[in-house]
Homo-oligomer: A and B are copies of this chain.
């Protein structure tokens, strides 16, 4: 009896152990793939099959597949994946659409579990039969697929560069907490490049095109679990399974912020989606309702997609506790202060009223400055004036967030203002957002340097306030 009891206990323990160790989401295998076959690998430098090969080669073991070549870029080339001796974790397919079913069959025979199909020329071109045929083969071999008609995938942490655009054209962002799911390829690449230029760090990028197999719901579920992903960005035109999308988004939005931009919000725009990723976008208001109901954050301007995600990431990383939506504006240009005020109000935030302590302290040190909201540091401001005022505001409980307008055009600001703002920001006492206008000097320097220090910057008060409004709506209960 004792023996039996002990055995039971052992089994229970093992079960518990299994339960604790959550199995990896199968999508993770796409990003951790080490041995990768490139089917349609090409010798010609400007062909997609060449660019993919070259981008992957730096960090992965790559197997080019092309029936008409023996060697590409000094790598042995295979006529078919079935000829490859090693185990293949992932195949990336870049052959003409008509050939895709055959090479996918080969992948099945080679027992490749994961495939990215970048080739276009399926449903989005009206070739519904071909897409159906492809689906049958995928089902037969139980292959998990991203695409077709997509740009590929990218993972900064796993150093997986599976995007078919050259690095000279699309800069790869540094590591960071934003992951980006995009139904559109070129749009995805453009925003990725733009993110890199703005110094926004990215974890994973997934362009999923026609979504023949894996779709936005699968990726949302995966990214919800992914440790490196803090915030999820989405560009979508339409979802194919509304019910599942609502359930998934509801679940995931409780775990991580999901910032979404919807393409095709007018009837005409929606019609245009049909030939882009193969289906109608549907009613914009229905989508808007879904986004609200599920707790996603919909942005109305494309330019706000990544900056909203970035501000979320910053606030989550900084561990800020934000109790309200009271914004203090600090500016060195009266006009920008007024426009900021207008936009704080328009975006459903409030203007803070600095405490009497702040007013007293600053009034003593800066008698020429009127301590109210906005605080106008005047055109003759110095770095020091910004430092004094911001340091005081960081301890003011009447203020939830600070919007700093920094017009580098005024005469006495020096480049050290970057250090001043960087240090203030580093204290992580209150989130600050900086508006610093494009300028002949400042745009390529000040903004970039501030971004290097992790300060979130905008070019205009309007975009800054739109983004702040979106984030605070979600963060402040």
Residues of A within 8 A of B (CB): 46, 48, 51, 120, 151, 164-166, 168-171, 182-191, 193-194, 196-198, 235, 237, 263-269, 272-273, 275-277, 281, 301-303, 332-339, 341-342, 344-346, 351, 370, 372, 374, 376, 378-380, 407-412, 437-441, 443-444, 459-462
Contacts and interface: CB of A to CB of B under 8 A. Distances in A.
A165 B461 CA distance: 22
A169 B48 contact: no
A122 B276 CA distance: 60
Contacts of A194: 437-439
A187 B438 contact: no
A338 B276 CA distance: 9
A337 B440 contact: no
Contact of A334 (B196, B277, B339): B277
A303 B460 contact: yes
B197 A273 contact: no
Contacts of A186: 332-336, 379, 407, 409-410
Those 6 A-B pairs whose CB atoms lie nearest each other, nearest first: A184-B335, A186-B333, A187-B335, A171-B440, A276-B334, A269-B342
Contacts of A333: 184-187, 190
A182 B443 CA distance: 22
Contacts of A237: 335, 338
11 contacts: A165-B409, A170-B440, A184-B338, A185-B333, A275-B370, A275-B372, A277-B334, A301-B462, A302-B339, A302-B462, A303-B459
Given A184-B335, A186-B407, A342-B263, A440 B272 contact: no
B197 A438 contact: yes
B345 A269 contact: yes
Contact of A335 (B183, B337, B339): B183
A379 B46 CA distance: 13
A198 B164 CA distance: 31
A411 B118 CA distance: 14
Nearest to A196: B440
Contacts of A169: 408-411, 439, 441
Q: Which of A169, A194, A237, A410 has the most CB of B within 10 A?
A: A169
Contacts of A191: 437
Given A269-B345, A441-B168, A441-B169, A339 B197 contact: no
A151 to B, nearest CB: 8
The residue in A170, A235, A266, A269 that gathers the most chain B C-beta atoms within 10 A of its C-beta is A269
B338 A165 contact: no
Contacts of A408: 169
Nearest to A344: B268
Contact of A341 (B268, B345, B407): B268
Contacts of A345: 266-269
